Structure formats: structure tokens, C-alpha cells
Amino acid sequence: MRHEFRIRVGPASFRIGSEWRAPIDQMRALYAGYPEADFTDFTVRLEAVSFLRRFIRPSVAINGDYMLPDAAPLPLDQGLLAAEMGMNLQMALGWRRQLILHASAVERGGKALIMTGASGSGKSTLSAMLGRKGWRFMGDEFALIDPVSGDAVPYPRLISLKNEAIAALQTSAPDAHFGPLMQGTPKGDICHMAPPLDAVAGMQTRAKPALLLFPRFGYEPAIREMGAGEVFMRLTQASTNYVALGEAGFEALTRFVQQVPARAIDYQSGEQAEALVNQLWDELA
Amino acid sequence: VSGGAILARALRDPASVKTLDANGWTALFSIARAEQLLGTLAYKLSALDLPEAIEAAIADARLNAEYQHRTALWEADSARRALLDFDGTIALMKGTAYVAAGLKAGQGRHIGDLDIMVAEDQISQAEQLLLTKGGWEWVKEDAYDDAYYRTHMHELPPLIHKERDRMIDVHHTILPKTARPRPDAAAMLEDAIDLDDGLSVFSPEDMVCHCAAHLIADGDLTGGMRNLWDMHCLLSEFAERDAQFWEQLGSRARHHQLWSAVSRAARLSARLYGTQIPVSWAAPRWQDGWYIRRILARDGWGRGTGKIVQLLFYIRSHWMRMPPMMLARHLWTKWRKA
């Protein structure tokens, strides 16, 4: 391919090939300071949907080792998003070394806080915010749980901010490195933010999961206890490889649910969320 | 060297991967994934002492193959349970059959959909049971496609399971009805070998005939490397078990009107993977080189190359499947709908 970029994020490594320069340049800038990979676990290819569409209204098909047959192509100015989606897809469909939870994670004192929930729950924004307030950012998309040790394994890829979260973080973290603002994506406006330096420096340092939260944005502040059965079921749905891991996945998840206290929290602002997180962390973690 | 050739060499001579550098490994993994042969490759390489990063990726591929096999056998058993009242032979086909029968071709093999075969005059019975007792439903609601499958194809339109999102293809023979060779499907079911649970697999000769028909006489050679690897494993294992195998295979292939497909697949398998085939089978034909070229056409990023050769084989696949006038009508209908 014309342009190529290799990157290691936590335990996984990627080769990104692109027919255009721009997405690769954007990745190089945002992933500055990450270790480069030699052998890579996965390949992502950003290819023109047809020869003409490389030049005229360029349209990026997200291809690679694993592909979704019905994945819609993106316009070239969303090429960085295409690359990130391609990388996520490789992990979701191909990674078997750890149990993958669709969750964000931060660490303090060797212990990990894991936050999971549907898109729009705020888990990504919360992890970015906490990552600037004394916590070490471990990842905003996938929390990796080692099936042998039970540890959370860092996967600090770029933080994907959506809609209102973009302005919020640009205000509260003006010194952070932001990618281009991509408007009108399938998920609204998206802007990528480079994780803090300590997140990259510490991306080989694992942590013991100590608290699991199910945040929900837009409701009166509240804390709700959750039964182990509900937590287990919701985590099986939040995992992309639970079924594929078979018995090892079942054991890892069972142990996780038995050992890690879980709460659902509702909040309407970052300050509220932070207060709830600190309160629960002091009580439970 | 084409990407396909790199993968073929690794499968044929696993120790050869020792000379690969990091870029070579990355390319090999992408090529193997594109050919759906990574699980197979992982099995072939597991005895070697390799760098840690490679071993970790290989372990992932093996875990994934185990998962696919578990799922495939579960799907087969689900079909068996739905078909408890079915009073005929139910033969598993392709990957699921290789794994269920414990054949070397099953080791690490990628398995997607479940393929089974039943007698043509019993296929509606099987269909009804799968729909009413098994929880499968139609994928396509398109009347033309549905009618096309039922009139001209060797299988029902694909069914998908309501809850598990897995497909089942129910065949009554191994090639479209419109293809020139007319394999003896009744004999295939007659001679199928019972597994101990009520399901069956084809006899060794028929398994090879089906594999070759699928590769050579149906389709545009997409997935040809995997198909030929199946061929290589089946031929090698059966020939080692039974000294009469080649002779029996030759006469069975002629009976099914598949001699040309079977002998060509055997030659290609020998050429690509070093299968030991009898001297009388080995005389090359001029087209073989084009087949090899088409099958190996892939670059180090896992992309298919050689678009023109690909297109020619695509046209050939339609040509073989249906007579020219029918092809014209079919493409016209498809084109109008697109």
C-alpha cells in the first residue's frame, strides 16, 4: 500500500495501510510517543471503494484481516475514524489473549476502575476526564481482562470523544493533543484525543480490577446496587470474545463478577460523576 | 513471489518459516487470514520454536479454530435434533464433516456455515422440520432468488437460525442442476458412513469428489487455497489408509462425471502442496498454470491481485453453472434489480 503506519497499543500491534497520506499523518501525530511495532498482529487497509473514488469524492472502505461485509465506507476527511474503527474491529473479532469488555478503564494505586455501558453512557468521556485528575488512563473502548491472572491489561488507544464531550474536554484539557473534528459521522461529531503521557508510558503495567461501574448520563445523581447475575449477563453482552474463549472466558468472567464490586451510577455532569466515583472508590475498592 | 506462494510454502514445509523476518510474518498472517487458513497454519506451526510475539498470535488462531469447531459441531447436533423425525440419511459436508470424522483436513480448519445433504425427494420434509422444530428461518424474501434456488440449484435457499445467527445450507446434490456433470447423489447418500449419533459423512471417495467438484466445477476459485488444502489432506490420509484408494477414486469420479475435476484438483494439490499422486494422474494440462495463478493471486497485505484472471474465472464459473441463454436471462434479471 502507498502509505503505512505500524503501532503498538498495549499488548496488540497493528499495521495500517492507506491509499491516502492524510489519515496516516494524523495517526502519526496523535500516536507520537507510542512504541513502533515490527511484527503486527493485525492489518487494517484503508482502500478506495473504486479506482475513481480515490480521487473524486474520495471514499474509504475499511478493510483488513477481519472485515464486516456490510460496513459503510466513510469520506476521506473521516479517514482517521476509519482507521480506528478498523483497529477496533480487528480486536473485537480476532483477539483471544484476554477477555475483551466493551468498557473504559483507569488505574490508581495499582487497582483498576472499569466502566461499561451503552454508547452515550459517558464511559469514554469519564475515563478521559479521570485520566487528567490523578488516575492513569488505561483505555476508553476495550478493557482487557487476563484469563489467567484476572488483571486488567492496558489498551490505551486514542480517546474517541463524541458530540458535547468534545468541547468539554477541549476546554478542560487545552494542552492535550486533539485530532481533526469530524462532523456528520455515523455517530455524530467525533474528535480523537491523544491519551496523557503517563498512559502511554505505563501501557505495559497491569492493574487489579477493584470496582466496576455502569454509568448512565442524563439522570439525577444516584447509586444503584446490582445483583451478580445481572452484572454477569450484562458483561457477557459487553464482551466481543466471551463466547469464543469458551470455558476460559466463563471462568475469567465468573471470577471477575465474584471479586469485583459493581454499581450503577447516574449523573448529569462531570463533577457529579467524579464525586460518585470517588465516594464508591473509597467505600469499595 | 505471490502471497499465495508464501502461504503454500509455509503449509507444505513449516520449517521454512524460520527464515521469515517480521515483515514476512506480518504478510503471512494477513495472507493466511484472507485465505481462511490461519487456523490450519497455526496447527502446522505449533511444533516449532518461534519468537514470543508470533507464538502468541498462533495461540490465538488455535483458540479461534477450537471455538469454530465447537460451534460447528453444536450446529450439526442442533440440526440432528431438529431432524429426529426425518427418515433418511443426513450427510454432513465440508469442514463440519472433516471435524466430525476426525480427519486431518479438519485440523485448525475454518468453518462457517453448516452444510448437510439429504435425498432430493425428502428435502421438503427436512426443510419443514428445520423451520418448525429447529428454529431456522429464510434469509432471503426475494421471490426471484427463492424460485431460482428451488428450480436450478443443488441446495435450498440458505436458512438462518433465529437466535444463533448461523446459516445452514441444505443440499440434495453437490453441483447446481444446471451444471454439465450430473453426480449420482443417491449413491453418495447410499454409501455414506454413519457417525454414531445419527448423522453421516460421505465415503472417502465421495468426500474427495465433492471437494473437487466444489473447487473446479462450481465457483470462481475463491477460497481455492483452502479447498486444495482440504484436497491435499484428504488424498494423503485416504491413500495412506487404503492401497486401493486411487483406483476406487478414479472409478467413482468417472461414475459421478467428475473425472476431469477430480484429476485436476489432485494435480493442483500435488503442485501446490506436494501431494503424492500416482504417475498416471500426474500428466499436466496447459490450463493448470492458469488455475495456480488464479489461486495464488494475493499480495502481502492480503489483497486479491490479478483482477483480469479473476474476472475470467468468474465468467467461467457462470458459464459452467448454466447454459448461455439461461445465463443471459439470469444476469439480465440481476442487473435490473441492482
User: Residues for chain A: how many in total?
Assistant: 285
Q: Do A246 and B67 touch (CB under 8 A)?
A: yes
What are the tens digits of pLDDT across the range A167-206? 999 999 999 999 999 999 988 999 999 999 999 999 999 9
- Does B47 score more than 80 pLDDT? yes
Whether A8 has its CB under 8 Å from any CB of chain B: the answer is no
Q: Do A45 and B301 touch (CB under 8 A)?
A: yes
C-alpha grid cell, residue A149: 491472572
The alpha carbon of residue B34 is apart from the nearest alpha carbon of chain A, in Å, by 6
Most confident region among A44-58, A191-205, B211-225 by mean pLDDT: A191-205
Give the mean model confidence (pLDDT) for residues B224-244.
Answer: 97
Q: How far is the C-alpha of B161 from the C-alpha of B131, rounded, in Å?
A: 9
Whether B282 has its CB under 8 Å from any CB of chain A: the answer is no
Specify the 3-state DSSP secondary structure of B323.
Answer: coil
- Does B336 score more than 90 pLDDT? no
Amino acid code (one letter) for B78: S
A40, A97, A245 ranked by CB distance to B26: nearest: A40
Lowest mean pLDDT among A138-142, A161-165, B199-203, B246-250: A161-165
How large a percentage of chain A has pLDDT more than 70? 100
Q: Which of residues 52-81 of A touch B (CB under 8 A)?
A: 63-66
C-alpha grid cell, residue A253: 468472567
Q: Which chain A positions have a beta carbon within 8 Å of B29's beta carbon?
A: 41, 43, 65
Nearest residue to A145 (alpha-carbon basis) of A60, A227, A209, A75: A209
Distance in angstroms between the alpha carbons of the first and the last residue of chain A:
48
Lowest mean pLDDT among A43-52, A136-145, B76-85, B127-136: A43-52
Task: Evaluate the CA torsion angle B28, B30, B35, B39 in order and state its sign.
Answer: positive
At B315, the pLDDT band (50, 70, 90 cuts) reads: confident
Per-residue pLDDT at A281: 98
Per-residue pLDDT at B338: 65
Q: How far is the C-alpha of B250 from the C-alpha of A175, rounded, in Å?
A: 74
Whether B56 has its CB under 8 Å from any CB of chain A: the answer is yes
Whether A38 has its CB under 8 Å from any CB of chain B: the answer is yes
Whether A123 has its CB under 8 Å from any CB of chain B: the answer is no
pTM: 0.92
Nearest residue to B111 (alpha-carbon basis) of B92, B93, B96, B91: B96
Q: ∠ at Cα B208 (B261, B152), nearest 5°?
A: 60
Q: How far is the C-alpha of A31 from the C-alpha of B264, rounded, in Å?
A: 51
What residues pair up with A145 in beta bridges, in sequence order?
A99, A152
Q: Which uninterrupted H or E stretch holds A246?
A: helix A246-259
User: Residues for chain B: how many in total?
Assistant: 338
Per-residue pLDDT at A118: 84
ipTM of the complex: 0.92
Backbone angles phi, psi at A95, to 5 degrees: -80, 130
Q: Do B60 and A94 touch (CB under 8 A)?
A: yes
C-alpha grid cell, residue B227: 479447498
Task: Kindly report the average pLDDT of chain A as a whole number.
Answer: 95
Q: Which of B20, B36, B58, B64 to mutate to test the interface with A (most CBs of A within 10 A)?
A: B64
The alpha carbon of residue B7 is apart from the nearest alpha carbon of chain A, in Å, by 15
Q: How far is the C-alpha of B206 from the C-alpha of A39, rounded, in Å?
A: 42
- Does B307 score more than 90 pLDDT? no
Backbone angles phi, psi at B132, to 5 degrees: -90, -35
Could you tell me which residue, A55 or B20, shows the higher pLDDT? B20
Task: Kindly report the average pLDDT of chain B as a whole number.
Answer: 93
Q: How far is the C-alpha of B104 from the C-alpha of B108, rounded, in Å?
A: 9
Could you tell me which residue, B72 or B157, shows the higher pLDDT? B72
Nearest residue to B27 (alpha-carbon basis) of B307, B293, B298: B298
Whether A148 has its CB under 8 Å from any CB of chain B: the answer is no
Q: Which of residues 213-252 of A touch B (CB under 8 A)?
A: 243-246
Per-residue pLDDT at A209: 98
Whether B86 has its CB under 8 Å from any CB of chain A: the answer is no
